[in-house]
């Protein structure tokens, strides 16, 4: 039995922190993950009142001894890591030691647990106040019960959706966990009625397909086409709908990396790229994709709910996934119907390149949207000459001179990237280590909260905090380098809250301002490589100017230089 210890401050402060308890579904997710980490073979979930009244998760996992049971409610108490290095090789779902602690604070909670060969014990907490352990009769395993979620934080209660919506989120969590763990049995009971039941499936090569049938229904699942790439420590197994069986929404798309459900823009881009010839508007592929990748090739420690993932090389992941989907589709259309079950097959030819896997130096995914042709001003090869006033980058090419305003160029790049993310409906965001409080007059705070959806589209997650403040929980990922976040968000809220602004206009302004703030500051020094890279990236932009229209580049050609020096033979103006 693993022993729980409280993480030292220097370890937990390096783990992306934040609130894991948002709604009943996120609670169910955390509890199911705990059960899976405890090696449960069966997990049953019961809810009442869409989880707002009761959530009960029972498992037959390893259970906890009495002293661990008493410790598990403490903040940063975890049996899963003890040093930061462990994070690198993490095999468990949990590792922050936060879920039970956070839940204990906002509900009436009880945990009963019995380790194999031990006695059963029960602890409870009422709004964070811990009630001492007492003996409990039970089978080995653990039952966690959460009653009256958010009873002591009514503001958060208000953010829960309708019962129907919350129930459907909970079902989605169960479906997702079931797909990732076919050998575990899952069930869901809602107000006494069993609504989902996925019996455990014996480990076999077809286990995944069987589980897919149970979750999607055998009609839909039977129509999916399998695809498999298996080589060099990388395995990608997908089940995807052929072009004639697309769905009306994106709801039926699941991505798993090493069994963890994840969201990543690059995965979706790869899928839609592979479907670009086949897909009509408003038609969406169905896919369940299981990626097994070397742990060092990605980072999941970017979001407390651990859904977001960063790949070290997005380009390789893109190629790999779109290649697997394309070859599955090619087979399905060649055969004229669903292909036979997955079997190991060689990787698509264009994937078997000399390029190493997960090459850290390769470019990020924006390059997939390159313009087919370079603009006229771009005349490589360039030789980097240096920087003036740490603001302008100077290059030579073909005997002429090119000068770039590094801030304007960076702004343009971020502007296009961010605008593309917004129009694709998926701004990548990052959760702040600590919520950022912003003081506002009460009326303004109310107004801002009413704009939550629009701010959400822009990548900002805002929560109420008292009457005269809001908390900023997440910001667009491109803010990585920004230091004056607070000032920026203050200004953003200012004009977002102005009802006179047309929605479109304020959005455009927001995007411009955000790109500007996030851009490399003039006065940052750049290496030669970075300078050349910036120039190269700028050529793929729609315009070589900052979003406000300031030029980002100008050039003096060879002839122009000769003319300026009245060289003999120079062509006169
Ligand atoms: P984390 O999962 O990040 O470690 P949690 O707050 O979710 O943090 O849980 C704290 C600890 O309680 C876990 O590390 C684990 O040791 C123990 N625990 C929680 N749920 C269970 C369970 N269902 N079975 C056995 N142990 C559990
Ligand atoms: Mg956990």
pLDDT tens digit string along 148-168? 999 988 888 888 888 888 998
Count of C-beta atoms within a 10 Å radius of residue 279: 15
| Of 420 and 408, the one with more pLDDT | 408
pLDDT tens digit string along 441-452? 777 777 777 778
Mean pLDDT of 515-526: 68
| Of 340 and 433, the one with more pLDDT | 433
pLDDT tens digit string along 175-186? 999 999 999 999
Flag whether pLDDT at 404 surpasses 70: yes
Flag whether pLDDT at 268 surpasses 60: yes
Distances (CA, A) of 317 to 240, 272, 344, 362, 422: 17, 14, 19, 11, 22
Which of 9, 30, 273 is closest to 144 using CA atoms?
30
R_g of the chain, CA atoms, integer Å:
27
Percent over 90 (pLDDT), the chain? 32
Mean pLDDT of 433-448: 76
Which of 6, 26, 37 has most ligand 1 atoms within 8 Å of CB, for mutation? 37
Distances (CA, A) of 443 to 309, 467, 468: 37, 9, 8
Weakest-pLDDT range from 331-340, 429-438, 499-508: 331-340
| Of 226 and 428, the one with more pLDDT | 226
DSSP state of 131: E
Q: How confident is the model at residue 466 (pLDDT cuts 50, 70, 90)?
A: confident
| Ligand 1 mean position, distance from CA 13 (Å) | 19
Count of C-beta atoms within a 10 Å radius of residue 104: 25
- Helix, strand, coil abundance in the chain, percent, nearest 5: 35, 25, 40
Identify the pLDDT of residue 484.
62
Q: What long-range pairs does 173-177 form, CB within 8 A, spacing at least 24? A: 173/25, 173/28, 173/29, 173/32, 174/28, 174/32, 174/45, 174/198, 175/215, 176/254, 176/261, 177/29, 177/32, 177/33, 177/36, 177/43, 177/261
Give CA–CA dist 365/269, Å, rounded.
9
Q: Which ligand is nearest to the CA of 82?
A: 1
| Ligand 2 mean position, distance from CA 412 (Å) | 41
Give CA–CA dist 463/479, Å, rounded.
19
| Ligand 2 mean position, distance from CA 101 (Å) | 10
| Of 300 and 405, the one with more pLDDT | 405
Give CA–CA dist 450/462, Å, rounded.
10
DSSP character string of 12-54: HTTSPP----SSHHHHHHHHHHHHHHTT-SEEEEEEEGGGTSE
Closest C-alpha residue for ligand 1 atom 16: 79
Give CA–CA dist 343/482, Å, rounded.
48
Flag whether pLDDT at 62 surpasses 90: yes
Pairing mode of beta strands 287-292, 253-257: parallel
pLDDT tens digit string along 547-566? 777 889 998 888 888 888 88
Give CA–CA dist 78/72, Å, rounded.
7
pTM: 0.59
H helical segments located in 184-247: 207-216, 218-222
Closest C-alpha residue for ligand 1 atom 5: 97
Mean pLDDT of 478-506: 61
Mean pLDDT of 379-395: 92
pLDDT tens digit string along 529-546? 999 999 999 988 888 888
| Ligand 2 mean position, distance from CA 40 (Å) | 14
Flag whether pLDDT at 389 surpasses 70: yes
Which residue ranges have their beta carbon within 6 Å of ligand 1?
Answer: 2, 4, 30, 34-35, 38, 59, 61-64, 72, 77-80, 94-101, 142
Flag whether pLDDT at 45 surpasses 50: yes
| Of 484 and 226, the one with more pLDDT | 226
| Ligand 1 mean position, distance from CA 295 (Å) | 22
| Ligand 2 mean position, distance from CA 182 (Å) | 20
| Mean pLDDT score across all residues of the chain | 79
Which of 65, 72, 75, 141 has most ligand 1 atoms within 8 Å of CB, for mutation? 72
Which of 212, 214, 166 is closest to 190 using CA atoms?
166
Flag whether pLDDT at 90 surpasses 80: no
Most confident of 409-413, 417-421, 531-535: 531-535
Q: Which ligand is nearest to the CA of 4?
A: 1
DSSP state of 308: B
DSSP state of 393: E
Count of C-beta atoms within a 10 Å radius of residue 376: 6
Give CA–CA dist 240/232, Å, rounded.
23
Identify the pLDDT of residue 158.
84
DSSP state of 212: H
Residues whose Cβ atom is located within 5 A of ion ligand 2: 34, 94, 99
Quick one: which atom of ligand 1 is closest to the CA of 61? 24
Closest C-alpha residue for ligand 1 atom 21: 34
| Ligand 1 mean position, distance from CA 241 (Å) | 37
Which of 78, 101, 184 has most ligand 1 atoms within 8 Å of CB, for mutation? 78
Identify the pLDDT of residue 549.
78
């Amino acid at each position: 039995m693993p022993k729980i210890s409280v993480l030292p401050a220097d370890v937990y402060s390096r783990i992306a922190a934040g609130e894991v308890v948002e709604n009943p579904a996120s609670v169910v997710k955390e509890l199911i993950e705990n059960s899976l980490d405890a090696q449960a073979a069966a997990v049953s979930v019961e809810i009442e009142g869409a989880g707002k009244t009761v959530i009960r998760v029972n498992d037959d996992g390893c259970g906890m001894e009495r002293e661990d049971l008493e410790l598990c409610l403490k903040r940063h108490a975890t049996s899963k890591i003890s040093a930061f290095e462990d994070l690198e090789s993490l095999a468990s779902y949990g590792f922050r030691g936060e879920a039970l602690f956070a839940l204990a604070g906002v509900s009436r909670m009880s945990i009963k647990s019995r380790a194999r060969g031990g006695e059963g014990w029960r602890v409870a907490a009422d709004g964070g106040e811990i009630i001492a352990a007492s003996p409990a009769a039970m089978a080995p395993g653990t039952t966690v019960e959460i009653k009256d979620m958010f009873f002591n934080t009514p503001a958060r209660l208000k953010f829960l959706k309708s019962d129907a919506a919350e129930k459907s989120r909970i079902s989605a969590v169960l479906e997702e966990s079931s797909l990732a763990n076919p050998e575990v049995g899952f069930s869901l009971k809602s107000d006494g009625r069993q609504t989902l039941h996925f019996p455990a499936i014996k480990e076999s090569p077809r286990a995944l397909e069987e589980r897919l049938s149970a979750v999607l229904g055998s009609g839909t699942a039977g129509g999916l086409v399998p695809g498999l790439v298996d080589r060099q420590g990388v395995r990608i197994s997908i089940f995807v709908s052929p072009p004639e069986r697309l769905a009306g929404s994106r709801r039926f798309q699941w991505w798993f990396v090493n069994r963890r459900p994840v969201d990543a823009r690059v995965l979706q881009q790869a899928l839609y790229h592979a479907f670009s010839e086949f897909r009509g508007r408003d038609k969406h592929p169905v896919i369940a994709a299981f990626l097994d990748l070397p742990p060092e090739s990605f980072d999941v420690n970017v979001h407390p709910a651990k859904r977001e993932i960063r790949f070290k090389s997005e380009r390789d992941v893109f190629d790999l996934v779109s290649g697997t989907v394309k070859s599955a589709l090619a087979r399905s259309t060649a055969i004229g119907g669903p292909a036979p079950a997955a079997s190991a097959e060689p990787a698509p030819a264009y994937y078997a390149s000399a390029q190493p896997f997960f090459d850290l130096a390769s470019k990020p995914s924006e390059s997939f949207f390159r313009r087919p042709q370079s603009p006229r001003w771009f005349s490589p090869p360039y030789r980097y000459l240096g920087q003036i006033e740490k603001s302008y980058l100077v290059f030579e090419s073909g005997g002429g001179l090119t000068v770039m305003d590094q801030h304007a160029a960076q702004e343009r790049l971020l502007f296009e990237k961010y605008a593309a993310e917004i129009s694709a409906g998926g701004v990548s965001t990052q959760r702040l280590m600590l919520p950022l409080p912003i003081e506002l007059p009460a009326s303004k705070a109310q107004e801002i909260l009413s704009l939550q959806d629009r701010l959400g589209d822009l990548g900002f997650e805002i929560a109420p905090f008292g009457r005269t403040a809001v908390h900023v929980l997440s910001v667009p990922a491109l803010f990585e380098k920004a230091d004056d976040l607070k000032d920026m968000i203050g200004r953003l809220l200012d004009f977002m809250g102005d009802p006179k602004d047309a929605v479109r206009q304020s959005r455009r302004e927001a995007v411009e301002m955000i790109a500007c703030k996030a851009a490399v500051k003039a006065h940052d020094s750049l290496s030669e490589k970075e300078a050349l890279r910036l120039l190269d990236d700028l050529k793929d932009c729609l315009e070589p100017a900052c979003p406000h229209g300031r030029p980002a580049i100008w050039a003096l050609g060879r002839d122009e230089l000769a003319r300026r020096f009245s060289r003999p033979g120079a062509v006169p103006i």
